[in-house]
């Protein structure tokens, strides 16, 4: 596998073979880290982290991964990059590309990260846009590989909730790329966009993947190895929008009955985090006071159960990000 100098802007920037190779590299790098090895494959490299949206796992994952491999990090937050405000994305790309050996971008616009990738002249990595979340899916696939009873090739995964967001888009397309059994269970109005569905359908014809989009929870989860959800309330969304969103999505909450409906006693639960599974956050308390709910997309009973592998999944963000950095920007 030779990915040196390559961008990762969306999930389909990797072939199925390359995607699996990055996952296997991440597993080896994880083993090295747990053994205390520090190989410094990125020694002397300088990496820019451009964040228009704040993050816990993405920023931590990139920073720890880079430091483990000997790279230096410069963090440019929402008030520091002027990206698209005082300076065009194209100009920013050409400036940062002269100074850094790689650039991570986390923000709203897929067009912005594509422009960075086109003009920077160094590897650019998508840490999240409104359309795609490829580094999350690398971590998800590594997690499924670790916990799949019959191996990754036999995995079936059902995503429940808002099926039109970046995680659902990436899961559907990545599942199709890798030949998995992937389902999106959501209100029809919240299914992935037609363009995303067509991309997934084309990939599935080549890989033999099974794709299902359904409004029926029982149909979606039947026989699934993994149940996946994401937070229902987007960053910065006004509280006035909460009520209609909750009413629409409450039938798709992952709770004990949904786990049981899978018919799989070994079913595992995935979540990209953060999760609203209780009242121990300020948002959780407001939801409880306003709507009388103890949880939104997942109940605490499921989140804290043996079925939950969400913290394995969160840790794997760092290992898979490290694999991307090493593969594209390493010596």
Give me the catalytic one of 20, 183, 271, 317. 317
Respond yes or no: is residue 133 known to be catalytic.
Answer: yes
Respond yes or no: is residue 198 known to be catalytic.
Answer: no
Sequence-ordered list of residues with C-beta below 8 angstroms from that of 324, at least 6 positions apart, any chain? 8, 22, 125, 135, 138
Tokens representing residue 254 in the block: 């992952």
Give me the catalytic one of 106, 183, 197, 319. 106
Give me the catalytic one of 230, 271, 277, 313. 230
Give me the catalytic one of 57, 133, 145, 319. 133
SS3 category, 51: strand
d(CA 308, CA 303): 6
Give me the catalytic one of 272, 277, 313, 319. 272
Respond yes or no: is residue 38 known to be catalytic.
Answer: no
Give me the catalytic one of 41, 45, 57, 136. 136
Respond yes or no: is residue 106 known to be catalytic.
Answer: yes
Respond yes or no: is residue 230 known to be catalytic.
Answer: yes
Place of tokens 């033999």: 208
Respond yes or no: is residue 147 known to be catalytic.
Answer: no
Sequence-ordered list of residues with C-beta below 8 angstroms from that of 108, at least 6 positions apart, any chain? 52, 53, 129, 130
Instruction: Give, as one character, the DSSP assignment of residue 213.
Output: E
Handedness of CA 214, 219, 223, 229 (dihedral sign): positive
CA dihedral 304, 251, 243, 233 (to 10 degrees): 50
Q: Which residues are catalytic?
A: 106, 133, 136, 230, 272, 317
């Amino acid at each position: 596998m030779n990915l040196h100098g390559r961008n990762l802007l969306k999930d389909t920037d990797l072939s199925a073979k390359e995607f699996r190779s990055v996952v296997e590299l991440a597993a080896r790098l994880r083993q090295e880290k747990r053994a205390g090895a520090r190989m410094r494959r990125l020694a002397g490299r300088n990496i820019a982290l451009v964040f228009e949206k704040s993050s816990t796992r993405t920023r931590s994952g990139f920073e720890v991964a880079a430091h483990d491999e000997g790279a230096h990090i410069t963090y440019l937050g929402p008030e520091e990059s002027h990206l698209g405000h005082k300076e065009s994305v194209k100009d920013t790309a050409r400036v940062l590309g002269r100074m850094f050996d790689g650039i991570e971008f986390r923000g709203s616009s897929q067009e912005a990260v594509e422009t960075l990738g086109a003009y920077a002249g160094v590897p650019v990595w998508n840490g999240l846009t409104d359309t795609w979340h490829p580094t999350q899916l690398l971590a998800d696939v590594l997690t499924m590989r670790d916990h799949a009873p019959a191996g990754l090739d036999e995995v079936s995964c059902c995503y429940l909730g808002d099926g039109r967001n970046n995680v659902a888009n990436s899961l559907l397309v990545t599942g199709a790329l890798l030949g998995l059994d992937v389902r999106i269970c959501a209100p029809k109005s919240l299914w992935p966009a037609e363009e995303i569905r067509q991309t997934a359908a084309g990939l599935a014809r080549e890989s033999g993947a099974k794709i299902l989009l359904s409004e029926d929870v029982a149909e979606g989860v039947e026989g699934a190895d993994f149940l996946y959800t994401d937070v229902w309330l987007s960053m910065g969304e006004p509280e006035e929008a909460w009520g209609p969103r909750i009413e629409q999505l409450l039938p798709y909450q992952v709770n004990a009955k949904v786990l049981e409906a899978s018919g799989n006693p070994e079913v595992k639960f995935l979540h990209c985090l953060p999760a609203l599974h209780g009242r121990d956050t300020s948002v959780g308390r407001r939801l409880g006071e306003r709507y009388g709910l103890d949880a939104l997309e997942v109940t605490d009973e499921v989140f804290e159960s043996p079925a939950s592998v969400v913290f394995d999944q969160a840790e794997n963000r760092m290992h898979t990000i490290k694999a991307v950095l090493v593969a594209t920007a390493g010596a």
